[in-house]
């Protein structure tokens, strides 16, 4: 069968949120903020935070085990493990290698993809390409991040926004039929690198006592700028992905956007002309979980019965880089 007819299909999904919960009321005791401000400006009420002593792969593992069980597959059935993350367990090797070992996946190749909040969509695009070209028959795609590790907990402009979590999907190969990933579109604009970034800890500014003193290992963000570009960019790329799939927005049963801020999601839905009932919103429970946000929301939507066979689902994300993307999937 030629690659032109081959498609990747989502066979299973899973997610994991750490047990520790930090509410807006908890944050009121840590910084000068209020539950009301956070709720009105972001829609966030609480977020989950990874326990001390645990790493990203611990969350990814539980999400992956659930996705494999949902797909009726075992770790040794996997040809590839691709993980979107900016908070790996170690600077190197990749967290996907840590995950591979935890799962006992002995036949896979694995690597991480760094595209911040768009990490899952980028990882999905890579895995989809491997499957369509026949280099892999199956793949585990994970979006997992622990941005709590990069937060300055006395900076109210960032610490209220983010949370930790992991989501996973298992992809298989379909040689015919209508189901599967119909299109994926990705974009970046590197002129915005410093609008949202972690200044130190990389090769340009390695860790030293001064960078630690200055808190340069934490997230620095111009939130207003991110907000503005995010809405416009996600609308544009969603339309491109739909066009490539040969579908109109009216044919979409459910939109699963990156969960950064309820106001961003509402503005995006308005611009796309989609009623909010058709949009998944869980930012109130988890905050912005970076690469995990889309696969966690996808997993929840499936488990809540919001996605039926034949439904077309639009996924989209936007984050640091700037990097953004959209995918159209028929279930
Ligand atoms: O995946 C991508 C990751 N990032 C994002 O998606 C972030 C996108 N941006 C946003 O979500 C919003 O821009 C924020 C939620 C970050 C901020 O909302 P905003 O409506 O743009 O507020 P602002 O930054 O204009 O701040 C308004 C006021 C300021 O006070 P003044 O200058 O008006 O006196 C801030 O100092 O609110 C103040 N403020 C706060 N007050 C209470 C900022 N953070 C807080 C806070 N609690 N946590």
pLDDT digits (tens, 9 = 90+) for 41-74: 999 999 999 999 999 999 999 999 999 999 999 9
**Residue 35, domain member (yes or no):** yes
Closest atom, ligand 1, to C-alpha of 160: 48
158 and 224 in a single domain? The answer is: no
Q: Whose CA is nearest to atom 10 of ligand 1?
A: 223
pLDDT at 123 over 60: yes
> What phi and psi values does residue 40 have, to the nearest 5 degrees?
-65, -45
Q: Are residues 119 and 43 in the same domain?
A: yes
197 lines ligand 1 (CB under 6 A): no
Q: Is 261 touching ligand 1 by the criterion CB < 6 Å?
A: yes
Same domain, 234 and 323: yes
When the pLDDT of each residue in the chain is averaged and rounded to a whole number, the result is 97
CB 112, CB 84: distance < 8 Å: yes
d(CA 237, CA 59): 30
Nearest to 237 by CA among 211, 272, 212: 272
Do 171 and 199 share a domain, yes or no?
Answer: no
Q: Which residue has the tokens 């047990």?
A: 19
Looking at the DSSP assignment, which residues form a beta bridge with residue 316?
257, 326
Q: Is the dihedral of CA 188, 194, 196, 199 positive or negative?
A: positive
CA-proximal residue: ligand 1, atom 3 (nearest): 319
pLDDT band (50, 70, 90) for residue 182: very high
Q: Tell me what pLDDT residue 4 has.
A: 66
* One domain for residues 187 and 173: no
Sign of the C-alpha dihedral computed for residues 226, 192, 290 and 240 taken in this order: positive
pTM of the full predicted structure?
0.97
Residue 133 in any domain: the answer is: yes
Catalytic site includes residue 258? yes
User: Above 60 in pLDDT, residue 1?
Assistant: no
Range of the domain at 221: 181-330
Residue 255 has pLDDT above 60, yes or no: yes
Q: Select which of 56, 122, 258, 261 is catalytic.
A: 258
Residue 259, C-beta contacts closer than 8 angstroms, at least 6 positions apart: 265, 281, 282, 283, 286, 287, 288, 289, 293, 294, 296, 297
d(CA 38, ligand 1 centre) in Å = 9
* Residue from 153, 157, 226, 287 whose mutation best tests the ligand 1 pocket (most atoms within 8 A of CB): 157
Spacing, Cα 299 to ligand 1 middle (Å): 29
The angle at the Cα of 213, spanning 219 to 222, to the nearest 5 degrees, equals: 25
Out of 151, 177, 203, pick the residue that ends a domain.
Answer: 177
Please identify, by atom number, the ligand 1 atom nearest to the C-alpha of residue 258: 1
Among 157, 177, 197, residue at a domain's last position: 177
Nearest ligand 1 atom to alpha carbon 162? 3
**Is 2 within a domain?**
no
CATH of residue 128:
3.40.47.10
Handedness of CA 142, 308, 128, 120 (dihedral sign): negative
56 is catalytic: no
Is residue 117's pLDDT more than 80? yes
Whether the CB of 326 sits within 6 Å of ligand 1: no
pLDDT in tens, 263-311: 999 999 999 999 999 999 999 999 999 999 999 999 999 999 999 999 9
Residue whose C-alpha is closest to residue 327's, from 229, 247, 259: 247
| Residue closest by Cα to atom 48 of ligand 1 | 156
Same domain for 187 and 304, yes or no, is yes
Counting the structural domains of the chain, the total is 2
Angle at 159 between CA 320 and CA 20, to 5 degrees: 110
Based on the fold, state whether residues 26 and 134 are members of the same structural domain: yes
The answer on 164 and 23 residing in a single domain is yes
Show Cβ contacts of residue 283 under 8 Å, excluding neighbours closer than 6 positions: 42, 43, 44, 259, 260, 261, 262, 265, 293
Active site annotation includes 117? yes
The verdict on residue 1 lying in a domain is no
Q: Are residues 143 and 232 in the same domain?
A: no
The answer on pLDDT for 2 being more than 70 is no
- Mean pLDDT throughout 198-210? 97
Rounded to whole angstroms, the Cα distance separating 145 from 139 reads 19
CB 66 within 8 A of CB 15: yes
Cα(174)–Cα(24) distance, rounded to whole angstroms? 45
**38 lies in the same domain as 133:** yes
Tell me the chain's radius of gyration from C-alpha atoms.
19
Q: Which of 117, 159, 261, 316 is catalytic?
A: 117
Residues 198 and 284 in one domain: yes
Percent of the residues in the chain that have a pLDDT greater than 70, as a whole number: 99
Please check whether residue 251 lies inside any domain of the structure: yes
pLDDT of 256 over the 80 cut: yes
Of the candidates 137, 158, 177, which is a domain's last residue?
177
Burial call 294-304: b when 16+ CB within 10 Å, e when fewer:
bbbbbbbbbee
The reply to whether 160 and 232 lie within a common domain is: no
């Amino acid at each position: 069968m030629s690659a032109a007819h081959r498609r990747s299909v989502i066979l299973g999904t899973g997610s994991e949120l750490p047990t520790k919960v930090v509410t807006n009321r908890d944050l009121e005791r840590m910084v000068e903020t209020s539950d009301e401000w956070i709720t009105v400006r972001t829609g966030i009420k609480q977020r989950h935070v990874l326990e001390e002593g645990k790493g990203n792969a611990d969350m990814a593992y539980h999400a992956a085990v659930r996705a494999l069980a949902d797909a009726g597959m075992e770790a040794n059935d996997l040809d590839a493990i691709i993980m979107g993350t900016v908070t790996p367990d170690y600077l190197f090797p990749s967290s996907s290698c840590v995950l591979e070992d935890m799962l006992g996946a002995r036949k896979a190749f694995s690597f991480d993809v760094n595209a911040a909040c768009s990490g899952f969509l980028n990882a999905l695009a890579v895995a989809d390409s491997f499957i369509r070209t026949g280099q892999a028959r199956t793949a585990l795609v994970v979006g997992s991040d622990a941005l709590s590790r990069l937060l300055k907990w006395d900076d109210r402009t960032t610490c209220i926004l983010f949370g930790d979590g992991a989501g996973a999907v298992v992809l298989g190969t379909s040689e015919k039929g209508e189901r599967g990933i119909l299109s994926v579109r990705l974009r970046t604009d590197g002129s915005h690198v410093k609008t949202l970034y972690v200044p130190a800890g990389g090769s340009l500014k390695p860790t030293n006592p001064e960078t630690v003193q200055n808190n340069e290992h934490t997230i620095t963000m111009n939130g207003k700028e991110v907000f503005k570009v995010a809405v416009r960019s996600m609308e544009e790329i969603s339309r491109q992905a739909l066009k490539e799939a040969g579908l109109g927005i009216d044919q979409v049963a459910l939109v699963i956007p990156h969960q950064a801020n309820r106001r961003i999601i509402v503005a995006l839905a308005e611009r796309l002309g989609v009623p909010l009932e058709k949009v998944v919103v869980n930012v109130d429970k988890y905050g912005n979980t970076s690469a995990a946000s889309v696969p966690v929301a996808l997993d929840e939507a499936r488990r809540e019965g919001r996605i039926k066979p034949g439904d077309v689902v639009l996924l989209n994300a936007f984050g640091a880089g700037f990097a953004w993307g959209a995918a159209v999937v028929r279930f």
